[in-house]
A and B are shown apart, each in its own frame.
Chain A
Amino acid sequence: MAERRGNWERAEDDLPVYLARPGTADQVPRQKHGGLFCSVEGAFESKTIDFDALSVGQRGSRTPRTAKRETGQEARSPASDCRSFPGVESPLTSRRGGKNSPQVEIKSSGGKEVLQNLGDEKSDRLLIKGGRIVNDDQSFHADIYMEDGLIKQIGDNLIVPGGVKTIEANGKMVIPGGIDIHTHFQMPYRGTTTVDDFNQGSKAALAGGTTMIVDHVIPEPGTSLMEAYDQWRQWADEKTCCDYSLHVDITHWNDSVKQEVDNLIKEKGVNSFHVYMAYKDYYQMSNSELYEVFTFLAERGGIAQVHAENGEIIAEEQARMLQMGITGPEGHVLSRPEELEAEAVFRAITIASQTNCPLYVTRVMSKSAADIISQARKKGNVVFGEPITASLGTDGTHYWSKNWAKAASFVTSPPLSPDPTTPDYLNTLLSSGDLSVTGSAHCTFSVAQKAIGKDDFTQIPEGVNGVEERMALIWDKAVTTGKMDENMFVAVTSTNAAKILNLYPRKGRIAVGSDADLVIWDTDSIRTITAKTHNSAAEYNVFEGMELRGAPLVVICQGKIVLEDGNLHATSGVGRFIPCSPFPDFAYKRVKARKQLAVLRAVPRGMYDGPVSEFSMSRGGTPSASARTSPTKQPVRNLHQSGFSLAGNPAPCGELSFLLEQPPLHRPVLSFCWSALFTLCIQRSMWFIS
């Protein structure tokens, strides 16, 4: 080890630039400031690299890669984080342990600049040189200069002030930081909370390259949305290490909730609301309520999110499973077959389409549900599907594990599909654009907490991890397999989410004026996911043992470097709440256009003046003159309040007798003309039919 450290120092001092990167024939990155290993004063001063501590990981890393796999190489070790190299043989990588051939080098300004910026060690000024900027639409080489947490300049040969910390990206990809659009950090559950609080959770997010999370506020049914929102704000403001935003779950519906939703949209910066079609007698909403919620959200410019599962059938199935004596975690998936998910998705889409409200389906877990979403999109519905890390990365066969604790750790709703081809299928749909965004639905419980349901699977708290693994997993499953390119990767991990939340281009894009949330992505590093090394507090990791290619090398959040060399420098409480404004263009441009078209018109007809049959009861014979003079303008209100009344609900029928005595004045208008004029009011039909 000592020798290696010696090497390291020697390399710093002696190695000429042209020898610094042996073996790299391809893609010679731009070299500035004298190359990779020039001596840089104070390069490590503001960092907390502890070589002794790191060397533990490095020792392991010096074994060949194959050996690494077997031992379950630690994810965070610098050995696996920042050393593999395009074109460099892996043994070399391992041998050199990374420090000799860093991909990315971070330097502070030295000399005069330091003097000028005396004591400005934690400068907000940051320059990334020679990176390949990857947005969702294109990739290009340019330097990025950031100040005060914002991107100030992009281009070549930037003129930057002194005292700038410079990162040499050496042609590595620089992508907008990931946005995890679905997390449940610090979620209260029956007196306990999830093991990952906002601090732990956002740390894990940053470690995985995610620089913004959107958490769900879950008010208990019957309690105020606003209070719950304030509570979540308080928790998050205290602890988060990265920017965050909030969805609010609507767990019950009445006029006061409506008012609160209105306030949240107008004043509190929430534009997405989540409703449940499952959890009967608890969170579940009826179709009518869904219709009303969706209608209201469509008016106010909110996004309707749904947890799509048919709760009523689940309740029946759960009772059946328990009766049959199935109490283990396999009962969870057996009582929630994927059909029920698909059914609820279908229903949600129907209601959303009726109310002309943009729909966002959280947690797409099965093929059938994804199929329904992609069909609906083909038909023109404004619907977004969110597969989560777990559904993209693993499947539900583990519910049958003999190890109860392991099986229980996979419990989430909708459950992971037992069909092992599901992850691949969902990745394909994600790549083709049928599914739009990815979240993690990170909601972790310790085994002890899961064990609440050891005798009854319905009591197992639900949720899986995934916030840390999300980016790398999608890279591995979709980009390395050639399903999507790097731009699409940025779109599904970040840009689309920002667009839906109406945060674009502040988030989700590398552009002048955008927030300085960036990730320098290493496409080649390989690490094995394991609970031993992950940043979450949970004992189990649902992706245990999975080997993923691709990882963040440097993560910059709010213009500060929070991850480098595998070290996290997250500061608790620096995360800001990012308010989302209503009517995101991404969803509402189409909706608005349709609203204009979908105006329904009545057919102007003469009054029907034929005989009217008597039905149920007649109330007097007074002709209702008003109804006659304005047949279409004035629907009789109380008539339709009764709803559809086949049952013999009496409706006012004052017209009964006058119709018979009506002189045939309007006859010509109404006479039976077989060649009737058909007025086709098809504006609306055009949209929804075919």
Chain B
Amino acid sequence: MSGYQGKKNIPRITSDRLLIKGAKIVNDDQSFLADIYMEDGVIKQIGDNLIVPGGVKIIEAHGRMVMPGGIDVHTRFQMPDRGMVAADDFYQGTRAALAGGTTMIIDHVVPEPGVSLVAAFKQWREWADNKSCCDYSLHVDITEWNKGTQEEMETLVKDHGVNSFLVYLAYKDVFQLSDCQIYEVFSVIRDLGAIAQVHAENGDIIAEEQRRILELGITGPEGHVLSRPEEVEAEAVNRSVTIANQTNCPLYITKVMSKSAADVIALARKRGAVVYGEPISASLGTDGTHYWSKNWAKAAAFVTSPPLSPDPTTPDYLNSLLSCGDLQVTGSAHCTFQTSQRAVGKDNFTLIPEGTNGTEERMSLIWDKCVVTGKMDENQFVSVTSTNAAKVFNLFPRKGRIAVGSDADLVLWDPDITKIISAKSHNLAVEYNIFEGTEVRGGPLVVISQGKIVLEEGSLHTTEGCGRYISRKPFPDHVYKRIKARSRLTELRGVPRGQYDGPVCEVTVTPKVISTVSSVKTSPAKQQQQQQFTPQPVRNLHQSGFSLSGAQIDDNVPRRTTQRIVAPPGGKANITSLG
């Protein structure tokens, strides 16, 4: 089992019927011993002494762990970038995913600004349908914002099973949206019942810093991390949390790369915000010291945005937050480029295509860094690699759980396998692996995707194009239960007051909203002023100590004789004397 050199060609099992005997089933909530019987890619029975038809292929688990196949929530296979295409296409990428124990990926559709979202979505579908070896789904990135975009988002949610959209706070003048636009996007996303994802970095500051650093003569990959300090990431996370809170929209931060960003998320969650953080394999497994490598090609291989933090204690910290639940899901942000592609930016770090590998290493890395070290147990491991992702994106319990009726995407996990990650042995098309030389403990022994064995004894038996598109419904319970409850509560009401009829200063022409006060008056606030963020201000008022002073001295006597005033209409009770 050491390495993948052994090319023993065992006859491929094509039967759809599969029985795993003597397995320790590990779900996110509990582990138990049972047999699993699968047919037609679906788990049909779980239990002891199952009655199964003949001709079933049997796998003896011998008490090893069987867990739901991993879900890699963030990949960018075959991503076009300035005429180049990411080195790992959907075939190569999903193969690597399966080799690492991941049985489903969610890829990002990146429409060029100006291109229709639906058109881009269809393009990605076509690529993936032809090549993907495992089930997949798609996030759609919003790279520009106009009225048409909103309609397209609606179409995507209703007809195409997309329930997550990514917006960029970075990449100024390309993908970046303004705060206003983000507010509107989030409002639309909430109404559609989708998840708002953000690439959180402050693009404005980055643009300025990049210019400064290039002026300093720093053109190598170290300039990438110097121009994108982690503060800038934390700032953007904070801002998106704020906007999401305002719009009451669930938020999902992709690529949590630094301690400060993770801290902001953890804090926001403590304050009750509905926000999810996604650290990626790279941020959990390595750090940004390599940007200073003398080997340009190696340094460039680490270039991704937000960059890996140069603080070497970051991976450990992020693993801790992942274990304690402050971060919930893990992706890989797998987006690989050949060294020759990276070399486009050899004289200017801003041109280096961004992305790191990680889809294959994700599960093993987390096992090694979290479970082996005792930060989390096997059940939590299943949550962060699979179940939480399925819940957030409304795939649960079809994915992310071993239960009758769920998809037969399983991994037989061996906690004792040790292997050394190396570009020589990985299943990717690139020359560099950012985890090169890392020894990880724990790995998949057998991987079952769609009820078929795809990894067995170190050999992959994947079928190009067998991956199905999994459509996702809006309003995932895991996310929207809270949002719905809050939107009922956060109804705001005006204070019913009499019409102000005191003097009004004359001003130079101002745009005024024509009085809507009458409508306020007719809707006497039925009270229960429940603003989640204000401690019942109206009620407070009645108990307010403010009235200590008795009536204010206004008495409607304007003191300033120099001001022109409008005389109050007579006879009417003046509202200024109510308080």
A residues touching B (Cβ–Cβ < 8 Å)? 72, 190-192, 195, 280, 286-288, 291-292, 295, 310, 312-313, 315-317, 321-322, 324-328, 330-331, 333-334, 337-340, 342-343, 346-347, 350-351, 353-354, 396-407, 418-420, 445-452, 454-456, 459, 528, 530-532, 537, 539-540, 544-545, 600-608, 610-617, 627, 631-636, 639-640, 643-649, 651, 653, 655, 659, 670, 672-674, 676-682, 684-685, 688-690
Contact = CB atoms under 8 A, between A and B. Distances in A.
A651 B351 contact: yes
B416 interface: no
Given A328-B494, A343-B242, A312 B183 contact: yes
A612 B565 contact: no
Interface stretch (B89-97, B173-181, B369-377): B173-181
A640 B350 contact: yes
A72 B552 CA distance: 11
13 contacts: A328-B494, A354-B205, A398-B544, A400-B540, A402-B575, A445-B505, A446-B563, A454-B504, A607-B346, A613-B343, A644-B170, A670-B295, A684-B226
A105 to B, nearest CB: 34
A672 B298 contact: yes
B5 interface: no
Contacts of A398: 541, 544, 546
Contact of A531 (B214, B548, B553): B553
Given A402-B575, A651-B351, A448 B563 contact: yes
B428 to A, nearest CB: 16
Given A346-B235, A418-B534, A643-B173, 15 more contacts: A347-B238, A400-B541, A406-B579, A447-B558, A539-B553, A544-B552, A600-B213, A602-B217, A602-B223, A610-B340, A612-B344, A627-B347, A648-B83, A649-B82, A672-B298
A397 B340 contact: no
Contacts of B82: 615-616, 645-649
B404 interface: no
A347 B169 CA distance: 13
B218 A602 contact: yes
B84 A615 contact: yes
A325 B495 CA distance: 10
B492 interface: yes
Residue from A342, A400, A632, A653 whose CB has the most chain B CB atoms within 10 Å: A400
A286 B204 contact: yes
Contacts of B577: 403
A649 B82 CA distance: 7
A605 B183 contact: no
Interface string B344-387: 10111011000000000000000000000000000000000000
A615 B347 contact: no
A326 B575 contact: no
B41 interface: no
A635 B215 contact: yes
Given A328-B494, A397-B544, A635-B347, A448 B565 contact: yes
B293 A677 contact: yes
B339 A610 contact: yes
Given A537-B559, A651-B348, A610 B294 contact: no
Grouping DSSP codes into helix (H, G, I), strand (E, B) and loop, the A interface class, with mixed when no group exceeds half, is: loop
B270 to A, nearest CB: 12
B503 A325 contact: no
B101 interface: no
A342 B82 CA distance: 38
Given A316-B184, A401-B541, A353 B231 contact: yes
Closest 8 CB pairs of A and B: A545-B549, A403-B579, A287-B204, A350-B235, A312-B179, A613-B341, A343-B242, A611-B340
Residue from B234, B497, B519 whose CB has the most chain A CB atoms within 10 Å: B497
Interface in B274-327: 289-290, 292-299, 309-311
Contacts of B211: 640
A640 B558 contact: no
Interface of B: 81-84, 112-113, 170-175, 178-180, 183-184, 202-211, 213-220, 222-223, 226, 229-232, 234-235, 238-239, 242-243, 245-246, 259, 289-290, 292-299, 309-311, 337-344, 346-348, 350-351, 436-437, 492-495, 497-500, 502-508, 510, 512-517, 519-520, 523, 531, 533-535, 537-538, 540-541, 544, 546, 548-550, 552-554, 558-560, 563, 565, 575-579
A195 B210 CA distance: 48
A632 B223 CA distance: 11
Contacts of B230: 688-689
A545 B297 contact: no
Given A288-B208, A313-B246, A608-B346, A690 B507 contact: no
B295 to A, nearest CB: 5
A471 to B, nearest CB: 21
A191 B379 CA distance: 68
Contacts of B437: 674
Given A192-B505, A449-B505, A612 B218 contact: no
A456 B344 contact: no
A551 B505 CA distance: 35
B575 A327 contact: no
A310 B559 contact: no
Contacts of B207: 288, 643-644
A635 B219 contact: yes
Given A337-B533, A635-B347, A354 B209 contact: yes
A405 B505 CA distance: 13
A676 B579 contact: no
Given A397-B540, A406-B579, A420-B540, A643 B550 contact: no
B376 to A, nearest CB: 25
A602 B219 contact: yes
A401 B579 contact: yes
B246 A340 contact: yes
B548 A452 contact: no
B235 A347 contact: yes
A444 B554 CA distance: 15
A676 B507 CA distance: 70
Given A288-B207, A608-B343, A190 B541 contact: no
Contact of B311 (A72, A330, A601, A685): A685
Nearest to B343: A612
A678 B289 CA distance: 7
Contact of B494 (A280, A325, A397, A612): A325
B83 A327 contact: no
A670 B202 CA distance: 34
A680 B310 contact: yes
Contacts of B519: 325
B239 A343 contact: yes
B510 A447 contact: no
B344 to A, nearest CB: 5
B135 to A, nearest CB: 28
B535 A418 contact: yes
A45 to B, nearest CB: 34
B180 A287 contact: no
Contacts of A633: 217
B497 A328 contact: yes
A670 B346 CA distance: 13
A191 B506 CA distance: 9
A364 B199 CA distance: 29
A112 B539 CA distance: 69
Contacts of A607: 346
Given A346-B238, A402-B578, A419-B534, A603 B294 contact: yes
A405 B229 contact: no
Nearest to A451: B504
B350 A192 contact: no
Nearest to B422: A674
Given A350-B235, A403-B552, A632-B218, A448 B508 contact: no
B341 A615 contact: yes
A643 B344 contact: no
Nearest to B260: A689
Contacts of A672: 295, 297-298
B537 A397 contact: yes
Contacts of B348: 635-636, 639-640, 651
